[in-house]
Amino acid sequence: MKKFEHRAWVIDPQLGLHQHAIFWVPVIFFVFLALILSLPLWCWCAPLSLDYEQIMKDATYPIFVASLAIPVGVMVGRFHGSAQRKLSNELSNSGMNFNRFYEHRKHFYDFITENYKPSDQIVRMVYVAYKANLYRILFPKNTPERNYFEMDCAEFKSKISVIRNKIQDSITRFQVKHSNSESVTFEEALSFIDDILKHFGLAAAKDFQEELSNSDQNSVFGLLLLCIKGSLKEAFQFAETDLLSKLGWHFHLSLEECFTGYKSDKEALELNEKLLRAISIY
């Protein structure tokens, strides 16, 4: 840790006032100047000590010059005190923001644990396995440094856009990996599906295969889209907000774009068929 601030134009609120060059420079300057001005008083040419009145008159101006260090020092002290109060307020606010962030997130986690009970059978095919990921989608601006508890429409769409790019990368890697194979294993298919759901804080339920077999869906990605939409709608209930109505069709469009952008429709169909065969619903 720095023990002295040598720069004569800088005030460090983490250091004491006496540890600043900006405090000592004016003191040394004015005192040294006063000593020079009072040179006749303490050298051999000084008046006789018996002439006390003359000595006091001659010392008046040097004393005045030396005293100028006092208001300058007080001014520097005020600036230093102001910087320390600012730092103290920032630390206090940072501590409060830190506590509010984790209290709010814990409240969200408790809400998901106690109240996340979707009635839709398709939505029940997944469950919230990564609460932190889901929390970051709903409250992307809320951080330990800065609290923002509102669900922001623009930030939501921006967050989904980032997830979309990650999903497209996952799909591309999966297609490349299995481009020369006729089929994929059940474990590979489920791992791929979980990899996509993880971006939304979700995971496939234990009876995912059975429920998928009983559904009338012929598209794995279509089914995942329904699960994700339903799960996010359930999570939106945590906050008393009309974000869902504000998002409108943007909510559906943003999520649907996560599963578009294949190189060709043929490759998309081939990938879907491989996944369906792996999960054995054919």
Per-residue pLDDT of the chain (282 residues; tens, 9 = 90+): 678 877 877 888 878 888 888 888 888 888 888 888 877 776 655 555 566 677 777 778 888 888 888 888 888 888 888 888 888 887 777 778 888 888 888 998 998 888 888 877 778 888 899 999 989 888 888 888 888 877 777 788 888 888 888 888 888 888 878 777 777 787 888 888 888 889 999 988 877 766 666 665 567 788 888 888 888 888 888 876 566 666 766 677 778 777 765 545 677 777 777 777 777 644
Pair (133, 91) in one structural domain = no
Spatial distance between the Cα atoms of 117 and 22, rounded to a whole number of angstroms: 64
* Structural domain contains residue 6: no
How many Å apart are CA 18 and CA 254, to the nearest integer?
59
| Secondary structure (3-state) at 1 | coil
Give CA–CA dist 31/42, Å, rounded: 15
Residue 204, exposed/middle/buried by CB under 10 A (0-12, 13-18, 19+)? buried
Q: Is residue 179 part of a domain?
A: yes
Clarify whether residues 86 and 134 are in a common domain: no
* Pair 60, 147 in one domain: no
Examine the domain organization and report whether 89 and 220 are in the same domain.
no
User: Is there a single domain that holds both residue 182 and residue 214?
Assistant: yes
Q: Are residues 98 and 232 in the same domain?
A: no
**Residue 11: inside a domain:** no
Domains held by the chain: number: 2
* Sign of torsion over alpha carbons 40, 45, 49, 54: negative
Q: How many whole angstroms separate alpha carbon 111 and alpha carbon 98?
A: 20
> Could you tell me if residue 188 is inside a domain?
yes
127 with 181, same domain: the answer is yes
- 124 with 95, same domain: the answer is no
Q: Are residues 95 and 141 in the same domain?
A: no
Residues 35 and 164 in one domain: no
Structural domain for 43, as ranges:
17-103
Instruction: Tell me, yes or no, whether 137 lies in a domain.
Output: yes
